[in-house]
Amino acid sequence: MRAIRVEKPGGLDRLKLVEMEDPGEPGPGEVRVRVRASSLNFHDYGVVSGTMETEDGRIPMADGAGEVEAIGEGVTEFAPGDRVVSHFFPGWIDGPARVADFKTTPGDGVNGYARDLIVRPATWFTRAPKGWSHEEAATITTAGLTAWRALVADGGLKAGDDVLVLGTGGVSIYALQIARAMGARVFATSSSDEKLARLTDMGAAGVVNYKDDPDWGRTIWDMTGGRGVDHVVEVGGPATLPNSIRAAAIGGHLHLIGVLTGIGGEIPTVNLMRKQQRLQGLIVGSRVHQIDMVRGMETTGLRPVLDRSFGLDEIADAFRHEESGKHFGKITLSY
Protein backbone atom coordinates (compact mmCIF):
# COMPACT_ATOMS: atom_id res chain seq x y z
CA MET A 1 0.00 0.00 0.00
CA ARG A 2 1.02 3.63 -0.46
CA ALA A 3 1.80 5.98 2.41
CA ILE A 4 3.43 9.35 3.03
CA ARG A 5 6.25 9.66 5.54
CA VAL A 6 7.85 12.82 6.94
CA GLU A 7 11.64 12.71 7.27
CA LYS A 8 13.23 14.76 10.03
CA PRO A 9 13.71 17.65 10.47
CA GLY A 10 10.56 18.15 8.40
CA GLY A 11 9.72 20.41 5.49
CA LEU A 12 7.53 19.93 2.44
CA ASP A 13 10.48 18.60 0.41
CA ARG A 14 10.84 15.80 3.00
CA LEU A 15 7.39 14.35 2.42
CA LYS A 16 8.07 10.99 0.77
CA LEU A 17 5.64 8.62 -0.95
CA VAL A 18 6.59 5.07 0.03
CA GLU A 19 5.30 1.52 -0.34
CA MET A 20 4.42 -0.29 2.91
CA GLU A 21 3.20 -3.75 3.76
CA ASP A 22 -0.53 -4.39 3.85
CA PRO A 23 -1.69 -4.03 7.48
CA GLY A 24 -3.49 -7.38 7.34
CA GLU A 25 -6.80 -8.43 8.79
CA PRO A 26 -8.36 -6.80 11.86
CA GLY A 27 -8.06 -8.44 15.25
CA PRO A 28 -10.69 -8.49 18.00
CA GLY A 29 -12.34 -5.07 18.36
CA GLU A 30 -10.61 -3.71 15.27
CA VAL A 31 -11.66 -2.55 11.80
CA ARG A 32 -9.77 -2.45 8.53
CA VAL A 33 -10.47 0.81 6.70
CA ARG A 34 -9.69 1.75 3.11
CA VAL A 35 -8.81 5.43 3.52
CA ARG A 36 -10.17 7.57 0.70
CA ALA A 37 -9.64 11.16 1.81
CA SER A 38 -8.06 13.48 4.33
CA SER A 39 -8.21 17.22 4.92
CA LEU A 40 -5.49 19.72 5.77
CA ASN A 41 -5.32 21.56 9.10
CA PHE A 42 -2.90 24.02 10.69
CA HIS A 43 -1.88 21.25 13.08
CA ASP A 44 -0.95 18.96 10.18
CA TYR A 45 1.11 21.75 8.65
CA GLY A 46 3.01 22.09 11.92
CA VAL A 47 3.91 18.39 11.73
CA VAL A 48 4.98 18.25 8.07
CA SER A 49 6.84 21.58 8.16
CA GLY A 50 8.89 20.52 11.18
CA THR A 51 7.68 23.31 13.47
CA MET A 52 6.10 20.64 15.69
CA GLU A 53 8.59 17.95 16.59
CA THR A 54 7.54 14.39 15.87
CA GLU A 55 9.12 11.00 15.23
CA ASP A 56 11.22 10.50 12.10
CA GLY A 57 9.21 8.77 9.39
CA ARG A 58 5.83 9.72 10.86
CA ILE A 59 2.81 9.17 8.63
CA PRO A 60 0.98 12.53 8.81
CA MET A 61 -2.66 13.64 8.67
CA ALA A 62 -5.09 13.56 11.60
CA ASP A 63 -8.20 13.41 9.39
CA GLY A 64 -9.18 10.26 7.56
CA ALA A 65 -12.38 9.13 5.87
CA GLY A 66 -13.13 5.94 3.97
CA GLU A 67 -15.00 2.67 4.09
CA VAL A 68 -14.77 -0.36 6.31
CA GLU A 69 -13.34 -3.37 4.45
CA ALA A 70 -13.44 -5.89 7.31
CA ILE A 71 -14.30 -6.10 11.01
CA GLY A 72 -12.71 -8.08 13.80
CA GLU A 73 -14.35 -10.29 16.37
CA GLY A 74 -16.70 -8.42 18.70
CA VAL A 75 -17.24 -5.37 16.47
CA THR A 76 -20.96 -4.62 16.23
CA GLU A 77 -21.03 -0.89 15.52
CA PHE A 78 -19.74 -1.19 11.95
CA ALA A 79 -20.08 -3.59 9.04
CA PRO A 80 -18.08 -3.96 5.82
CA GLY A 81 -19.04 -1.20 3.40
CA ASP A 82 -19.86 1.36 6.10
CA ARG A 83 -18.47 4.86 5.49
CA VAL A 84 -16.51 6.11 8.48
CA VAL A 85 -14.44 9.07 9.63
CA SER A 86 -11.55 9.17 12.08
CA HIS A 87 -11.49 10.67 15.57
CA PHE A 88 -8.79 13.13 16.72
CA PHE A 89 -8.34 11.79 20.28
CA PRO A 90 -8.86 8.00 20.01
CA GLY A 91 -8.83 7.51 23.78
CA TRP A 92 -11.30 10.27 24.64
CA ILE A 93 -14.66 8.59 24.26
CA ASP A 94 -16.93 10.72 26.48
CA GLY A 95 -16.99 12.98 29.50
CA PRO A 96 -14.75 15.93 30.43
CA ALA A 97 -11.47 16.52 28.60
CA ARG A 98 -8.64 14.31 29.82
CA VAL A 99 -6.07 15.06 27.10
CA ALA A 100 -3.55 17.93 27.18
CA ASP A 101 -1.12 16.88 24.45
CA PHE A 102 -0.96 15.21 21.04
CA LYS A 103 0.77 11.97 22.05
CA THR A 104 -2.22 9.89 20.94
CA THR A 105 -3.28 12.05 17.98
CA PRO A 106 -2.97 10.34 14.59
CA GLY A 107 -0.52 12.14 12.34
CA ASP A 108 1.39 13.54 15.31
CA GLY A 109 2.03 11.29 18.30
CA VAL A 110 1.16 8.17 16.30
CA ASN A 111 0.94 7.43 12.58
CA GLY A 112 -1.93 9.07 10.77
CA TYR A 113 -4.10 8.70 7.67
CA ALA A 114 -1.87 9.62 4.71
CA ARG A 115 -2.05 6.00 3.59
CA ASP A 116 -4.32 3.67 1.65
CA LEU A 117 -5.18 1.20 4.41
CA ILE A 118 -5.26 1.14 8.19
CA VAL A 119 -6.25 -1.35 10.90
CA ARG A 120 -7.22 0.23 14.22
CA PRO A 121 -9.74 -0.25 17.06
CA ALA A 122 -13.30 0.47 15.98
CA THR A 123 -13.50 3.26 18.58
CA TRP A 124 -11.00 5.27 16.50
CA PHE A 125 -13.85 5.98 14.05
CA THR A 126 -17.45 7.13 13.89
CA ARG A 127 -19.95 6.85 11.10
CA ALA A 128 -19.69 9.53 8.41
CA PRO A 129 -22.79 11.63 7.68
CA LYS A 130 -25.11 9.91 5.23
CA GLY A 131 -24.73 11.12 1.67
CA TRP A 132 -21.44 12.93 2.24
CA SER A 133 -18.44 12.35 0.01
CA HIS A 134 -15.28 11.03 1.62
CA GLU A 135 -13.71 14.46 1.14
CA GLU A 136 -16.59 16.14 2.94
CA ALA A 137 -16.50 13.61 5.79
CA ALA A 138 -12.75 14.07 6.26
CA THR A 139 -13.32 17.70 7.29
CA ILE A 140 -15.17 16.66 10.46
CA THR A 141 -12.29 15.16 12.46
CA THR A 142 -10.47 18.40 13.34
CA ALA A 143 -12.09 21.55 11.96
CA GLY A 144 -15.73 20.51 12.07
CA LEU A 145 -15.65 18.98 15.54
CA THR A 146 -13.73 21.94 16.97
CA ALA A 147 -16.42 24.36 15.80
CA TRP A 148 -19.21 22.03 16.98
CA ARG A 149 -17.77 21.53 20.44
CA ALA A 150 -17.03 25.24 20.90
CA LEU A 151 -20.48 26.51 19.95
CA VAL A 152 -22.80 23.61 20.74
CA ALA A 153 -21.29 21.25 23.31
CA ASP A 154 -19.47 23.86 25.42
CA GLY A 155 -21.15 27.09 24.38
CA GLY A 156 -24.80 26.03 24.45
CA LEU A 157 -25.49 27.99 21.26
CA LYS A 158 -29.13 28.93 20.80
CA ALA A 159 -31.27 30.72 18.26
CA GLY A 160 -30.89 34.48 18.52
CA ASP A 161 -27.28 34.40 19.75
CA ASP A 162 -24.62 36.52 18.06
CA VAL A 163 -21.40 34.82 16.98
CA LEU A 164 -18.09 36.27 15.77
CA VAL A 165 -15.76 34.19 13.60
CA LEU A 166 -12.23 35.27 12.70
CA GLY A 167 -10.94 34.63 9.19
CA THR A 168 -11.98 32.02 6.65
CA GLY A 169 -10.18 28.89 7.80
CA GLY A 170 -11.91 25.57 8.18
CA VAL A 171 -13.02 26.05 11.80
CA SER A 172 -14.31 29.57 11.18
CA ILE A 173 -16.39 28.63 8.15
CA TYR A 174 -17.78 25.57 9.90
CA ALA A 175 -18.67 27.80 12.88
CA LEU A 176 -20.47 30.24 10.60
CA GLN A 177 -22.46 27.43 9.01
CA ILE A 178 -23.36 25.76 12.31
CA ALA A 179 -24.38 29.06 13.89
CA ARG A 180 -26.54 30.02 10.92
CA ALA A 181 -28.16 26.57 10.80
CA MET A 182 -29.11 26.92 14.48
CA GLY A 183 -30.64 30.37 14.12
CA ALA A 184 -27.77 32.54 15.33
CA ARG A 185 -26.52 35.78 13.76
CA VAL A 186 -22.91 35.77 12.58
CA PHE A 187 -20.27 38.46 12.17
CA ALA A 188 -16.92 37.82 10.52
CA THR A 189 -13.48 39.28 9.88
CA SER A 190 -10.96 38.77 7.09
CA SER A 191 -8.12 40.67 5.43
CA SER A 192 -9.61 39.97 1.98
CA ASP A 193 -12.58 41.93 0.66
CA GLU A 194 -13.24 39.11 -1.80
CA LYS A 195 -13.49 36.59 1.03
CA LEU A 196 -15.67 38.98 3.04
CA ALA A 197 -18.06 39.11 0.10
CA ARG A 198 -18.25 35.32 0.10
CA LEU A 199 -18.92 35.30 3.85
CA THR A 200 -21.75 37.78 3.29
CA ASP A 201 -23.18 35.48 0.61
CA MET A 202 -23.07 32.66 3.19
CA GLY A 203 -25.23 34.68 5.55
CA ALA A 204 -22.87 36.80 7.64
CA ALA A 205 -24.83 39.75 9.06
CA GLY A 206 -21.75 42.00 9.22
CA VAL A 207 -18.14 41.78 8.07
CA VAL A 208 -14.96 43.75 8.80
CA ASN A 209 -11.61 43.88 7.04
CA TYR A 210 -9.25 43.74 10.03
CA LYS A 211 -6.32 45.16 8.06
CA ASP A 212 -8.29 48.27 7.16
CA ASP A 213 -9.83 48.53 10.64
CA PRO A 214 -7.36 47.81 13.47
CA ASP A 215 -10.12 48.56 16.02
CA TRP A 216 -12.38 45.90 14.55
CA GLY A 217 -13.53 44.73 17.97
CA ARG A 218 -15.22 48.08 18.56
CA THR A 219 -16.74 47.96 15.07
CA ILE A 220 -18.27 44.53 15.74
CA TRP A 221 -19.56 45.80 19.10
CA ASP A 222 -21.26 48.70 17.32
CA MET A 223 -22.74 46.35 14.70
CA THR A 224 -24.58 44.51 17.48
CA GLY A 225 -26.12 47.75 18.71
CA GLY A 226 -23.74 48.00 21.67
CA ARG A 227 -24.64 44.59 23.08
CA GLY A 228 -21.64 42.58 21.89
CA VAL A 229 -21.48 39.03 20.59
CA ASP A 230 -22.33 36.03 22.73
CA HIS A 231 -19.60 33.83 21.25
CA VAL A 232 -16.20 34.44 19.68
CA VAL A 233 -14.53 31.55 17.88
CA GLU A 234 -10.99 32.73 18.63
CA VAL A 235 -8.44 31.26 16.22
CA GLY A 236 -5.83 34.02 16.44
CA GLY A 237 -4.58 34.02 20.00
CA PRO A 238 -2.61 36.84 21.66
CA ALA A 239 -2.77 39.42 18.86
CA THR A 240 -6.52 39.10 18.31
CA LEU A 241 -7.76 38.48 21.86
CA PRO A 242 -7.89 42.17 22.89
CA ASN A 243 -10.27 42.96 20.03
CA SER A 244 -12.25 39.77 20.65
CA ILE A 245 -12.74 40.77 24.28
CA ARG A 246 -13.86 44.20 23.11
CA ALA A 247 -16.33 42.67 20.65
CA ALA A 248 -17.85 40.21 23.12
CA ALA A 249 -20.88 40.88 25.28
CA ILE A 250 -20.90 41.10 29.04
CA GLY A 251 -20.86 37.46 30.07
CA GLY A 252 -19.79 36.45 26.56
CA HIS A 253 -17.95 33.21 25.80
CA LEU A 254 -14.58 33.32 24.05
CA HIS A 255 -13.65 29.91 22.64
CA LEU A 256 -9.85 29.86 22.29
CA ILE A 257 -9.10 27.24 19.67
CA GLY A 258 -6.05 28.60 17.83
CA VAL A 259 -2.73 30.38 18.20
CA LEU A 260 -2.20 31.66 14.66
CA THR A 261 -0.62 34.88 15.99
CA GLY A 262 1.70 33.19 18.48
CA ILE A 263 1.77 31.20 21.70
CA GLY A 264 2.07 34.07 24.16
CA GLY A 265 1.53 37.79 24.62
CA GLU A 266 -0.16 40.50 26.66
CA ILE A 267 -3.87 40.02 27.34
CA PRO A 268 -6.05 42.81 28.82
CA THR A 269 -7.25 40.63 31.69
CA VAL A 270 -8.94 43.55 33.42
CA ASN A 271 -11.30 43.93 30.46
CA LEU A 272 -12.05 40.20 30.51
CA MET A 273 -12.79 40.44 34.24
CA ARG A 274 -14.78 43.66 34.00
CA LYS A 275 -17.06 42.20 31.33
CA GLN A 276 -17.33 38.92 33.28
CA GLN A 277 -16.50 36.91 30.18
CA ARG A 278 -15.46 33.30 29.96
CA LEU A 279 -12.24 32.48 28.09
CA GLN A 280 -12.06 28.75 27.45
CA GLY A 281 -9.31 26.89 25.66
CA LEU A 282 -10.29 23.73 23.82
CA ILE A 283 -8.82 21.16 21.45
CA VAL A 284 -11.30 19.34 19.22
CA GLY A 285 -13.64 17.02 21.22
CA SER A 286 -14.64 13.54 22.34
CA ARG A 287 -15.95 10.64 20.27
CA VAL A 288 -19.45 11.24 21.65
CA HIS A 289 -19.20 14.90 20.58
CA GLN A 290 -18.39 13.66 17.07
CA ILE A 291 -21.30 11.23 17.02
CA ASP A 292 -23.58 14.10 18.06
CA MET A 293 -22.13 16.32 15.35
CA VAL A 294 -22.69 13.72 12.64
CA ARG A 295 -26.33 13.47 13.69
CA GLY A 296 -26.55 17.28 13.69
CA MET A 297 -25.14 17.52 10.16
CA GLU A 298 -27.65 14.97 8.90
CA THR A 299 -30.54 16.77 10.60
CA THR A 300 -29.66 20.28 9.41
CA GLY A 301 -28.50 19.27 5.93
CA LEU A 302 -25.35 21.32 6.41
CA ARG A 303 -22.44 20.47 4.07
CA PRO A 304 -18.85 21.68 4.45
CA VAL A 305 -17.24 24.19 2.08
CA LEU A 306 -14.48 22.54 0.06
CA ASP A 307 -11.72 24.45 -1.68
CA ARG A 308 -9.44 22.18 -3.76
CA SER A 309 -8.56 18.50 -3.72
CA PHE A 310 -5.12 16.99 -4.38
CA GLY A 311 -3.90 13.43 -4.83
CA LEU A 312 -1.94 11.65 -2.11
CA ASP A 313 1.23 12.08 -4.17
CA GLU A 314 0.49 15.82 -4.40
CA ILE A 315 0.46 16.36 -0.63
CA ALA A 316 3.33 18.87 -0.74
CA ASP A 317 1.47 20.96 -3.32
CA ALA A 318 -1.62 20.82 -1.13
CA PHE A 319 0.30 22.26 1.81
CA ARG A 320 1.86 24.91 -0.43
CA HIS A 321 -1.66 25.92 -1.39
CA GLU A 322 -2.49 26.16 2.31
CA GLU A 323 0.65 28.28 2.87
CA SER A 324 -0.50 30.73 0.19
CA GLY A 325 -3.61 31.64 2.18
CA LYS A 326 -5.65 31.78 -1.03
CA HIS A 327 -7.99 28.96 -0.07
CA PHE A 328 -11.56 29.38 1.15
CA GLY A 329 -12.83 26.37 3.04
CA LYS A 330 -11.14 23.01 3.38
CA ILE A 331 -8.29 21.69 1.25
CA THR A 332 -8.54 17.92 0.88
CA LEU A 333 -6.53 14.92 -0.29
CA SER A 334 -8.31 12.28 -2.36
CA TYR A 335 -6.96 8.75 -2.72
Instruction: Find the helix or strand (DSSP H, E) in which 83 lies.
Output: strand 83-86
SS3 state at 222: helix
SS3 state at 84: strand
Q: What is the pLDDT of residues 40-67, one digit of tens each?
A: 999 999 999 999 989 999 999 999 999 9
Q: What is the pLDDT of residues 128-169, one digit of tens each?
A: 999 999 999 999 999 999 999 999 999 999 999 999 999 999
Whether residue 250 contacts residue 228, with contact meaning beta carbons closer than 8 Å, is answered with: yes
SS3 state at 226: coil
Domains of the chain by start residue, with CATH? 2-141+285-334 (3.90.180.10), 145-281 (3.40.50.720)
Whole-Å CA distances, 5 to 13, 61, 198, 311, 321: 11, 10, 36, 15, 19
Alpha carbon distance 217, 208 (integer Å): 9
Phi (first) and psi of residue 12, to 5 degrees: -65, -25
Mean pLDDT in residue range 94-108: 95
Q: What is the pLDDT of residues 119-128, one digit of tens each?
A: 999 999 999 9
Max Cα distance, the chain (Å): 61
Mean pLDDT in residue range 272-291: 97
Asked whether the predicted pLDDT for residue 321 surpasses 80, the reply is yes
The pLDDT value recorded for residue 264 is 78
Percent of the chain topping pLDDT 70? 100
Please list the alpha-helical segments (H only) found in 254-300.
269-274, 287-300
Phi (first) and psi of residue 308, to 5 degrees: -130, 155
Alpha carbon distance 256, 231 (integer Å): 11
Q: How wide is the angle at C-alpha 146 spanned by C-alphas 141 and 91, nearest 5°?
A: 60
The pLDDT value recorded for residue 267 is 84
Give the closest residue to 61 by CA, choosing from 9, 11, 115.
115
The pLDDT mean for the chain works out to 96
Alpha carbon distance 39, 185 (integer Å): 28
